[in-house]
Every structure is written in structure tokens, then in C-alpha cells.
Amino acid sequence: MTEPLQISAETVDADGRPVGVVTVRGEVDLSNSEELAGALTAADEESEGLVVDLSGVPFMDSSGLAVLLAAREPWRRITAVVVPDSPVARLIEIAEVANFIHSFPARDAAVSAHAPGAGDADD
Amino acid sequence: MVSGEERSSVDLELPSEPPSVGEARQAVTDLARQVGAPESDVGLAVSEAVGNAVVHAFRGRPPGTVRVTARGIDGVLTVTVSDDGVGMSPNIQSPGLGFGISLITKVALDVHFESSEGGTRVTMDFPAEAA
């Protein structure tokens, strides 16, 4: 059975722009993807960007991917922290959604992508 | 994923409920590790196939059973996921945005879908160099 997710959230500063950071630990599948959806919905609504740190997620299926895609808003773009060559990285690759979920190997880079003028988080 | 017990094959009958996704994935991934199959791809395919059965197979009727079998023979790990539900049909309420089947076809060597009024059966082959 898939273990419950461990999720934490905070707001950080990206060169003056508030960015929500949601850190997830555990496998994400149909049994708990609603937990992830709830956490992303509850993330600071004042934030102008959202970083989902998936570096502690050893596995995710399309139910989690759908949650990430659904959390995108015109006013709040999403970046993700993803371990290169991990199952999550492969999922994003084979689902061909890399243009919608911008992935970075480290949290600092994923946050900096939301800084004014950075452009990396823009679609 | 945590390494499980040594298995020569997998044969599970699970309730069509979300927790069954992880249970099936864990069991088949353990076998994939032993037979040299790509654990991540096998785990994803099993998760998608069982997830599809849980979400789609028993719409409009009481939950049923999902059977998962896996065996490695002659360099191939063959995994089947079957249910006794309503068969395959479009569902706009899908939580996976319809990614599931597409992902399975991308990670498996070969995939075969059978659907009838008696249910759906997905058979997936993966390379297994130690089988």
C-alpha cells in the first residue's frame, strides 16, 4: 500500500516576488493524489509563482501529473524540482509535458525561475 | 520503493479501490527487480493499468475485483491486469487526463488490450534480461 504523503508548504522570496514552495515526500498515485491537489490548492494564494519540490518523490503516475497540470493558473506558473533521470523525470519526459512543467534539478534554480525577468518559468 | 520478498511470479486478486494501485505496483516491481526488468517503467505501467481498472471498470456498479499476474520467462516479464467490470469506454471524469494508456504503450515492449462486456484485460511485456 502506498504510504501517506508528507507535504509541507512555505512562501519564499524570489527577488521581491513571493513564491509558494510545496515540498512532497512519498510515492504519488491514485490513492493519494487528492492530498497533493489539496496542498497545491492551499498553497499561498498571494504567491505569484509555485514551486513543487518533487525531489523526495520516488514514484509518481499520471494521477499526480494531472494534479500538477491542473494547478497551473494564468496568474501563477509552476516549476518543479525533479531529480534528473528519476522516475518522475521520466514520467514528465514520456508524457511530453516538459513544456508545461518546467523542471529544475535544484530548488534554488526552480525558485529563481520565478524572479522578475527570469523568463524560465514562462510558457 | 521498499524491496519485498523473493517472488517467482505474482498472482493477486485485489478490490477495485485506490490502495490496490500501490499494492500491485509494489508486488510487480519486486518481481521486475529480480528478473532484470526496468523497475520504474514496470511500476508506472502497473500503476496506470490498475488505476484505470479502479477508476473506469466499475462505474455505475458496485466495486469489483482487479486481478494482477506477472511472470518472467525467456527474457520477458509479462504482466496482466484484468477486471470483471464494464469494459473500456470514454470517461471525461478521468483523474489522469487520459494519459494512462498512452504511457503504458510508451514504456512496454508490447501491449495488448481486450475489452468486452465481461471486463477488460491488459497484457504488457517488458524486457527481463535475468528471466
Residue B6 has pLDDT above 60, yes or no: yes
User: 3-class SS at B86?
Assistant: coil
Q: Which residue of B has its CA nearest to A60?
A: B44
pLDDT at B90: 57
Nearest Cα residue to B39 out of B29, B26, B48? B29
Dump the DSSP string for B26-48. HHHHHHHHHHT--HHHHHHHHHH
pLDDT at B91: 57
The 10s digit of each residue's pLDDT in B18-51 is 999 999 999 999 999 999 999 999 999 999 999 9
pLDDT tens figures, A79-106: 999 999 999 999 999 999 999 999 999 9
Cα distance from A23 to chain B (closest Cα, Å)? 19
Interface test with A, best of B1, B3, B44 (most A CBs within 10 A): B44
Tell which wins on pLDDT, A56 or B99. A56
Question: Residue A50 in 3-state DSSP?
Answer: strand
Q: How far is B97 from chain A (nearest CA, A)?
A: 6
Residue B94 pLDDT exceeds 60 = no
CA distance A99 to B33: 32
* Average pLDDT over every residue of B1-20: 80
Cα–Cα distance for residue pair B34/B7, rounded to 1 Å:
8
Q: Which stretches in chain A have pLDDT values below 50? A: 120-123
Average model confidence (pLDDT) for chain B? 89
Sheet-wide strand order for A6-14: A6-14, A17-25, A49-56, A77-81, A102-104
Q: Out of B19, B44, B54, whose CB is closest to A2? A: B19
Cα B120 to Cα A15, A71, B1, B60, B81, distances in angstroms: 53, 32, 28, 16, 8
Q: Using alpha carbons, list the distances in angstroms from residue A113 to A16, A71, B16, B53.
A: 13, 17, 41, 39
**Euclidean distance between CA atoms A120 and A106, whole angstroms:** 14
Phi and psi, residue B115, nearest 5°: -135, 135
Chain A residues touching B107 at Cβ < 8 A: 94
CA atoms within a 13 Å half-sphere pointing along the CA-CB vector of B76? 11
Among A112-116, B6-10, B108-112, B114-118, the minimum mean pLDDT is found in B6-10
